[in-house]
Structure 1
Amino acid sequence: MATVGTERRARRRRGGRRAGVLLAAALAAGLAAGCTSGGDGDDGRGARESPTATQDGAAPPALAVKIDNAPAARPQSGLDDADVVYVEQVEGGLSRLMAVYAARLPESVGPVRSARESDLELLRQFDEPLLAFSGAQSKLLPLIDEAPLTPVDPTSEADAFDRDPGRAAPHNLFLRPDRVLEDPPGEAALTTGFREGPAPSGGTPEEEVTVRFPAARFTFTWSDADGRWQVSMDGSPATTRDGDRLTAATVVVQDVTVRRSGFRDFLGNNTPYTETVGSGKATVLRDGRAHPASWSRPAAEDGTSLTTPDGDPVNVAPGPVWVLLTSGR
């Protein structure tokens, strides 16, 4: 009889990741340099099973990547290719990003940073997704291993990560998605609950909307020329590494509960837990208008539905969706 661990490894092998061999137990000291004991480096668990190619033709899973959003991490790589970008609160009221890829894979994504407990609940909406992260605190690692996802970190997949010598650690770790997925998983893997379609009627014309976290802020400015919202972070335009503006076709500002968790960072600061299961108010920005909405996610396995005050669906526009998970604006 197969053990739980064996069954989980078998599910991960069916996840559609590329053929590979067992990799080194840990990166060299230079890879771990500059990482904090809060989880941005070698986790000390040693080598884990490398991903392998799909054996039974199952569709590959979505790829989620935890991305640094400290000023020293900007400009990031790969955000312009993400289907969905989640903005989460972390220690000190700062923000961190989780980019989800399904339709296409960028050449590079990062800087990659550490995972948080609330990531596990957020990712349950996807079918055995890949989670790329730089590490996690020791007490969280068992929860990551038990979660219905496939961890991809420098310990398990050393050759999937590179360090940018032009940046200071820990803001210099980048993922090469083509080294963990042969092909983009496709839109079928994007089980967020969001649906493309016509905009709802009504709404308020908006040229610019700012969303505030305790120690971070995001501004979305409507561009008729782009037909999208231009993204700014902490008062500065957000760009790709090539200097192009980051844009969003739809912005979902989702009012959630952010509470204390049972975890702390290496400085002793409590790690916030963002609750994404439940219901609440939301604002949906698309086509230069702001639409009041409600969000609902009854269970962790479900996607998030958006409805008008009258209960009609609120569709998203074709293109990138940014979701800001905030407890107040």
Structure 2
Amino acid sequence: MHAFRAKRPVAVSAVLSALLLAAVAGCRGGSPGGTAPTSSGARAHVLAVKIDNVGPARPQTGLGKADLIYVEQVEAGLSRMMAVYSSSLPPVVGPVRSARETDLELLRQFDRPTLAFSGAQSKLLPAIAEAPLDPLTPEKDPDAYFRDSDRAAPHNLYLRPARASHTTTGANAAEDIGLRFAAAVPGGRALADRTVRYPAASFTFTWSAERSRWLVSMDGTPARTADGARLGAADVVVQYVTVRPSLYRDRWGSTSPYTETVGSGSAVVLRGGKEYDVRWSRPSADSTTAFTTSSGERMTFAPGQVWIVLAQK
């Protein structure tokens, strides 16, 4: 892990603080038929962190500890990640960046998750304040954040989860939303690698039999953790969705894309050197996402970290 030095205080925004400290009622989550319990019977209390993913933000810190990593398209065709933690928390996560409208619907699969992020488009702040989640921002919990003087802003803001108000149950966030870790289902096609392209970003997943992982490359370059290890996933889901313009724009006037994660469609699951064609279904925002095979079976996953790449259908 790279060294962190000279922690500079994080600026406080009175408007953001007021909005995000608003009381939020209600819990969400569950499978299409109701709540999705974990193997321990308790819902996971997840920490979701918005992760920067442009060149100056790499290598990221703390991704290897996530149960789930979501990849979504943002402005200018670039990508951003949301790392979801529950089984364990890393000492440091980042760089942390701003939230998007897509995140609010995606996170309703979980039971009142904590969302760590740094800022958002001003017109989106009321929606964040009303969402069934606990915001964890530098304004709300400044002791949990610091800036790394070795990097240029805004790609240098990091979270120390242990200093935050969030507590975790230790349940697996992937199991919490209904993903089943079990022996592989029949079928599948042998696959060496698969690339998913956004307008200005790409992800390639290459099977390594030696490591039993799909090694990750971003924009044609092998992706590594802050301590130099290759990023790798036990399973990858390429979920084909509708990506459309939202009502929001960034500070430079670019329209923020909105990724629709409620509905149904096709997906591809990469597991154990094979790819499987599956269907995804999420009837409502209060439902979790089910992945099923052509025969109607639930898709099974290999134990380990799952990446879900939300790709334009």
Same-fold status (TM-score > 0.5): yes
Aligned to 1:38: none
Q: Which segment is superposed worse, 193-202 or 130-139?
A: 193-202
SS at match of 2:285: coil
Q: Percent identity?
A: 57
TM-score, structure 1 as length reference: 0.83
SS at match of 1:92: helix
CA contact (8 A) 1:50 1:156 kept: no
Larger relative contact order (CA 8 Å, sep ≥ 6): 2
Aligned to 1:310: 295
Q: Is the aligned partner of 1:162 residue 2:146?
A: yes
Aligned to 1:45, which of 16, 27, 33?
A: 16
Task: Report how far residue 310 of structure 1 moved.
Answer: 1.6
Q: Is the aligned partner of 1:76 residue 2:69?
A: no
- Residues 194-247 of structure 1 show CA distances to partners (whole Å, capped at 9, x for unaligned) of 111111111111111111111110001111111111000001111111000011
Aligned to 1:106: 90
CA contact (8 A) 1:50 1:157 kept: no
Question: Aligned partners of 1:31, 1:117: CA distance in 2, in Å?
Answer: 24
Distance 1:189 1:237, change over 3 A: closer
Aligned to 1:322: 307
CA contact (8 A) 2:100 2:120 kept: yes
SS at match of 2:301: coil
Aligned to 2:10: 31
Question: Aligned partners of 2:14, 2:210: CA distance in 1, in Å?
Answer: 46
SS at match of 2:59: coil
Aligned to 2:193, which of 199, 208, 213?
A: 208
The AA in structure 2 aligned to 1:245 is R
Question: Aligned partners of 2:167, 2:76: CA distance in 1, in Å?
Answer: 37
Name the Cα RMSD after superposition.
Answer: 2.1
Distance 1:167 1:210, change over 3 A: same
SS at match of 1:201: coil
Question: Aligned partners of 1:194, 1:322: CA distance in 2, in Å?
Answer: 12
Question: Aligned partners of 2:274, 2:250: CA distance in 1, in Å?
Answer: 39
CA contact (8 A) 2:185 2:299 kept: yes
Task: Report how far residue 29 of structure 1 moved.
Answer: 8.7
SS at match of 1:217: strand
Distance 1:43 1:296, change over 3 A: farther
Distance 1:212 1:189, change over 3 A: closer
Question: Aligned partners of 2:16, 2:133: CA distance in 1, in Å?
Answer: 17
Aligned to 2:228, which of 243, 255, 274?
A: 243
Distance 1:43 1:240, change over 3 A: farther
Matched residue pairs, number? 287
- Gaps spanning 5+ residues in structure 1: where? 1-27, 33-40, 52-57
The AA in structure 1 aligned to 2:210 is A
Q: Is the aligned partner of 1:224 residue 2:203?
A: no
- Gaps spanning 5+ residues in structure 2: where? 1-6, 24-41
Question: Aligned partners of 2:302, 2:290: CA distance in 1, in Å?
Answer: 15
Aligned to 2:110: 126
Q: Which segment is superposed worse, 235-244 or 189-198?
A: 189-198
TM-score, structure 2 as length reference: 0.87
Task: Report how far residue 77 of structure 1 moved.
Answer: 0.6
CA contact (8 A) 1:250 1:319 kept: yes
Task: Report how far residue 50 of structure 1 moved.
Answer: 11
Q: Is the aligned partner of 1:67 residue 2:51?
A: yes
Question: Aligned partners of 2:85, 2:251: CA distance in 1, in Å?
Answer: 30
Question: Aligned partners of 1:182, 1:45: CA distance in 2, in Å?
Answer: 19
Aligned to 1:274: 259
Aligned to 1:261: 246
